[in-house]
Amino acid sequence: MIRTIALMALAGALGPVMSSVAWAAYYEDNLILPSPQYMERQGEVIVYTNMVQCRQIHALNITPRQEMTPGGGPYPMSITFDVALELSTDGGVVYQPALAQGEAQLLFTAGGGGGAALFEIKLDYDKIFRIFGGNLPPNVMIRESPTLDSTGRSTCTALTGPSGGYEIESFFDVYTEITLDGGQTWYPSIDSAPMHMTGTPEPATLSLLVLGGLALLGRRRVAPRTDRP
């Protein structure tokens, strides 16, 4: 009981920190993708057809991240990440904060020009993307839609001057479904609304909060799956 109360207090504290992060370009010394973290558009709520609602979705501690070459690739990547979110199972009356695990397979494809390196992003192979575990309610998982393509873009502009580096803007629209019974039944979002995720630099304070919460759960990182849930 003490562990549960402590975890909920910590997860609830994520809200003000998440809301304080501006969604704008960030800077890297090298062209390294994906972004350190992705945050859902502020004020957005994903409503599924079973009336479960999800908001304040924040993927962070993304690993691995890879240095890329303008015009190079394609770059397939299998990533794992931590997730902070708020979930309501009563139509939005009460939201419960949760910390969970995530995994995805991405494909970065180079394109564009005009002084900026563009990388199109999409879910690769069997479109593996899922959020699971942690202190989500039992049997609750979120996956990428098997019928809708989830895509994004990273625009990386080389900076002039002695310090060099890159200005990076990145977004990812993920179409999702949710299950409450361990994968027996999946519910899409109403009107096929995607999670609009925006890449941002990772604030150390938030990273430490989430890492502390996951350590409190005593969860172990699992290897990425090679099949859909």
Question: What confidence tens digit (pLDDT) does each residue in 84-141 have?
Answer: 999 999 999 999 999 999 999 998 988 765 556 788 888 764 568 899 999 999 999 9
Residue with tokens 């799956």: 225
Residue 224 lies in a domain: no
pLDDT at 204: 52
The pTM (predicted TM-score) of the whole model is 0.77
Residue 226 lies in a domain: no
**Beta strand segments in 148-204, E:** 151-158, 166-174, 176-179, 187-188, 195-200
Backbone angles phi, psi at 190, to 5 degrees: -65, 135
Q: In sequence order, which residues have a C-beta less than 8 Å from that of residue 97 and are 6 or more positions away?
A: 8, 11, 12, 14, 15, 56, 84, 85, 86
Residue 117 lies in a domain: yes
Residue 229 lies in a domain: no
Task: Count Cα neighbours of 114 within 13 Å in the Cβ-side half-sphere.
Answer: 4
Residue 187 lies in a domain: yes
How many separate domains does the chain show? 1
Residue 222 lies in a domain: no
Residue 104: is it exposed, middle or buried by C-beta count within 10 angstroms (0-12/13-18/19+)? Answer: buried
Residue 223 lies in a domain: no
- Structural domain of 155: 2-217
Residue 205 lies in a domain: yes
